[in-house]
């Protein structure tokens, strides 16, 4: 009996313990809910207070500071409310149409004013609110190179210039620079080749060579060549030439050509092993390459209908039978090719075909017709001797 009583007491104690824990959790949750509600009310009250009191604006305008309050939602509306006038080229930071959400703002106003830009022998006047040389030049669509020196300074003669500020651009000198085999256009403010190397942080090694010498003045027409003697590798990008496909159109006369698909060169990166001695490339060997852009084949529609008619076609048939057995692809003689046995110089890459034997029959017939129109049968003294000269 006593043991039963002890067991019952333990169960009762355990239940009481768990009940106390449960009550504690409920109290904690209720406390957190009160805190959350209070925080939300505080945040809402702060938002309501800000909306009611507005925003504090401190305006910095040409050295003058202006402070005011506004309940407007943008700076543009706030300035309009205060009757503060801005010209179309004036700028502000922050922007005029940014939403005002903070309690206070420091606003910078940049007033547009005239500035003279002197670029070598040229001079132009702009109205700008920008303050830096690069920004003013960009607004005037003037390209500045990294090596150029551009300064915005007070005018030395405001009456003559008609402005209070002048942007002066001192241009760097462009020159051709062969930098270890890579051709490029470079620019410098240095006066000599040696000073240019220092300006660009280029340190020559004992096995390097340079032309012209380091004490040579830099000019706009010169080429500076820096090389390393001995065998070295050179990687460069090269074009991959597109090929051309010719599609014959029997309804168009020979000589007609229309590009239906424009060819585009591809690109490949090539690595060479180059042997340089005293600035002269002695040998070059390709050791690796990868095509980075495939070329696009050009497709051309070409005419295949001869312009002549009638008996001349029969005369040509006799001529080519005598010259080549009527074989348009005749290549038995390395010098004279095709149905009419043209040599390369007389054929002259006609219609874009280097080898007469590769040209379509209509193209070879047309060439024979044009040759006959100029010279008769004389180019074919043996086979043309018996043909009537009545077609021109």
Name the domain count of the chain: 5
Q: What is the pLDDT of residue 255?
A: 74
- Give the residue-averaged pLDDT of 126-152: 95
Distance of CA 114 to the CA centre of its chain: 33
Q: Any idea what the CATH number is for the domain that residue 253 is in?
A: 2.20.230.10
Cα–Cα distance for residue pair 242/294, rounded to 1 Å: 9
Q: What is the pLDDT of residue 377?
A: 94
Average pLDDT across the chain, whole number: 87
- Give the residue-averaged pLDDT of 100-116: 94
- From the CB of residue 134, how many other CB atoms can be counted at a distance below 10 Å? 12
Same domain, 315 and 354: yes
pLDDT digits (tens, 9 = 90+) for 55-97: 999 999 988 999 999 999 999 999 999 999 999 999 999 999 9
State both tokens at 172: 């760097």
Phi, psi of 367 (to 5 degrees): -60, -40
State both tokens at 286: 């390709």
Which runs of E-coded beta strand occur in 112-265?
Answer: 113-119, 122-128, 149-154, 165-170, 173-179, 182-188, 208-211, 223-228, 230-240, 244-253, 257-261
Q: Any idea what the CATH number is for the domain that residue 202 is in?
A: 3.10.20.30
Pairing of strands 244-253, 280-293: unpaired
Same domain, 91 and 127: no
Whether residue 32 is preceded by a cis peptide bond, meaning omega within 30 degrees of 0, is no
Q: Sheet holding 182-188: strands in order across?
A: 182-188, 173-179, 223-228, 208-211
Cα–Cα distance for residue pair 65/59, rounded to 1 Å: 5
Q: pLDDT higher for 304 or 107? A: 107
Q: pLDDT higher for 32 or 337? A: 337
Q: Are 341 and 324 in contact (CB under 8 A)?
A: yes
pLDDT digits (tens, 9 = 90+) for 220-268: 989 999 988 888 888 889 999 999 998 988 888 777 889 999 999 999 9
Phi, psi of 333 (to 5 degrees): -100, 120
Per-residue pLDDT band at 14 (split at 50, 70, 90)? low
pLDDT above 80 (res 312): yes
Helix (H, G, I), strand (E, B) or coil at 287: strand
Task: Provide the H-helix boundaries in the chain.
Answer: 2-53, 75-81, 133-139, 158-161, 193-199, 311-324, 344-347, 361-375
Cα–Cα distance for residue pair 105/63, rounded to 1 Å: 17
- From the CB of residue 338, how many other CB atoms can be counted at a distance below 10 Å? 26
Per-residue pLDDT band at 45 (split at 50, 70, 90)? very low
Q: What is the pLDDT of residue 268?
A: 95
Same domain, 252 and 224: no
Residue 42, domain member (yes or no): no
Query: What residues pair up with 298 in beta bridges, in sequence order?
Result: 244
Residue 45, domain member (yes or no): no
Residues of the chain above pLDDT 70, percent: 85
Q: What is the pLDDT of residue 13?
A: 54
Lowest average pLDDT, out of 38-42, 145-149, 285-289, goes to: 38-42
Instruction: Give the domain range for residue 241.
Output: 237-299
Q: What is the pLDDT of residue 31?
A: 60
Cα–Cα distance for residue pair 244/261, rounded to 1 Å: 10
Residue 263, domain member (yes or no): yes
Q: What is the pLDDT of residue 147?
A: 95
Q: Sheet holding 244-253: strands in order across?
A: 244-253, 298-305, 257-261
Residue 9, domain member (yes or no): no
- Give the residue-averaged pLDDT of 276-281: 82
């Amino acid at each position: 009996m006593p043991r039963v009583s002890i067991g019952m007491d333990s169960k009762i104690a355990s239940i009481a313990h768990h009940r106390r824990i449960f009550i504690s959790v409920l109290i904690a949750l209720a406390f957190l809910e009160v805190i959350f509600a209070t925080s939300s009310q505080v945040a809402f009250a702060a938002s309501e207070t800000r909306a009611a009191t507005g925003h504090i604006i401190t305006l910095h305008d040409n050295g003058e500071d202006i402070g005011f309050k506004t309940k407007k939602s943008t700076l543009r509306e706030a300035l309009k409310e205060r009757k503060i006038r801005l010209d179309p080229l004036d700028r502000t930071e922050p922007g005029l149409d940014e939403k005002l959400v903070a309690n206070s703002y420091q606003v910078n106003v940049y007033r547009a004013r005239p500035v003279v830009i002197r670029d070598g022998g040229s001079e132009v006047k702009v109205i700008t609110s920008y303050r830096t040389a690069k920004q003013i030049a960009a607004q005037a669509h003037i390209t500045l190179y990294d090596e150029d020196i551009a300064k915005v300074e007070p005018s030395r003669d405001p009456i003559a210039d008609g402005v209070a500020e002048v942007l002066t651009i001192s241009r760097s000198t462009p020159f051709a620079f062969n930098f270890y085999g890579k051709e490029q256009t470079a620019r410098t403010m240095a006066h000599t080749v040696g000073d240019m190397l220092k300006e660009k942080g280029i340190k020559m090694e004992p096995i390097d060579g340079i032309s012209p010498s380091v004490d040579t003045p830099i000019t706009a027409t010169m080429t500076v060549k820096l090389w390393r003697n001995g065998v070295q590798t050179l990687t460069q990008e090269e074009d991959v030439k597109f090929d051309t496909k010719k599609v014959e159109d029997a309804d168009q006369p020979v000589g007609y050509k229309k590009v239906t698909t424009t060819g585009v060169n591809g690109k490949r990166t090539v690595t060479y092993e180059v042997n340089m001695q005293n600035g002269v490339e002695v040998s070059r060997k390709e050791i690796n390459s990868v095509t980075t852009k495939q070329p696009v084949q050009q497709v051309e529609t070409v005419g295949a209908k001869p312009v002549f008619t009638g008996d001349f076609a029969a005369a040509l048939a006799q001529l080519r039978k005598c010259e080549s057995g009527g074989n348009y692809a005749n290549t038995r003689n390395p010098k004279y090719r095709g149905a009419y046995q043209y040599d390369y110089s007389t054929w002259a890459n006609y219609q874009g075909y280097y080898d007469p034997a590769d040209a379509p029959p209509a193209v070879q017939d047309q060439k024979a017709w044009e040759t006959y129109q100029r010279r008769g049968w004389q180019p074919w003294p043996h086979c043309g001797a018996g043909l009537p000269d009545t077609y021109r």
